[in-house]
Amino acid sequence: MRYFCVKVEDNPIKMPVLTCTTDYGLKDPYAAMLRGRLMTRFPGWRIEDISHNISKFDLLEAVYVVKTAYSFFPPGSLHLVDVGFLPIFGQFTAPTYCVTCIEGHWFVLPDKEGLIPQLSQAINHPVQRYPFTVPQPMPGFQILNWLDGPVGMLIQSIESNPALEMAPEPWAAPVPDQSTRWIEEPTVIDGVLVGKVVYADHYGNLHSNITRHVLDQFANGKAIHILLKSVRSNENKVEKIHGHYHAVQDNDLVLLYNAGGYLQIALAQDHAYNLLGLRVNDRVMIERIG
């Protein structure tokens, strides 16, 4: 199964990193409780936060944030994602977690359809699941039960063997993830590249699902128009992608690539989400000129 996880041999980490991404927020004690449990149980790991301000129940937003951030951490890191779920009225099924390893990074995240393909561009990327019932002394805080059980065992195994390629038993053997619900990739419709806004950050910048690679391939060296559904009628069409936020006057529209390589819509020194009226899932269309 050597294809499953890249071995970590170069630049070994003296203290491995464990990141947390949740929708707990910072007002309540939950993020501190999670960090405290991790520090107590795994003193050999450095605990870092990616974000605790994911929109409530929004797993896709959590995965987008982690996907954008994880490569900035050293290989061998483990990224823990815990976002609430919306149960069906009158039914309760305790949330479960799955494990995967991508480019030398471990991920523990809710076992929901379609999340693994968001992280990996590989179709049917291998994923591991825990085949047994996890005891629930804390039914209202499931991730702590898993940290005391199978996830905790995995973390200890990685610490003792940084070159580990798959979660050891009793985790089940890796199987191809059959999920098909990806973060929608841009499509070409009648000669127009059609993407959408997938995330709005704290500054009001809007991030699309259009990568630099996809746009460059589509443009093929030609000039482009980027069409937006903005409430500011004079800013529904953009012809240039800039290199930084201050390439235009304050309050003017600026398009640039974010650190993850995705096309970003912003207002210089202002809040694009509030002032442009664009929202997550709104279309971003690009047409070739000439």
DSSP string, 70-94: GGGSPTT-EEEEE----PPTT----
3-state secondary structure 201-218: CCCCCEEEEEEHHHHHHH
Are the C-beta atoms of 262 and 199 separated by less than 8 Å?
Answer: no
Domains of the chain in start order, with CATH, are: 17-176 (3.40.50.10790), 187-289 (2.40.30.90)
pLDDT by residue for the chain (290 residues), tens only, comes to 444 565 555 555 579 999 999 999 999 999 999 999 999 999 999 999 999 999 998 888 888 899 889 999 999 999 999 998 766 555 567 788 999 998 899 999 888 754 554 565 555 678 899 999 998 888 889 999 999 999 999 999 999 999 998 999 999 998 887 653 445 689 999 999 999 998 999 888 999 999 999 999 999 999 999 998 876 655 677 888 988 887 877 778 889 999 889 999 988 777 787 878 888 889 999 999 87
User: Around Cβ 36, how many Cβ atoms within 10 Å?
Assistant: 12
- Predicted structure pTM score: 0.81
Q: How far is CA 275 from CA 8, 235, 268, 269, 279, in A?
A: 46, 11, 12, 12, 11
Token pair listed for 175: 């199987």
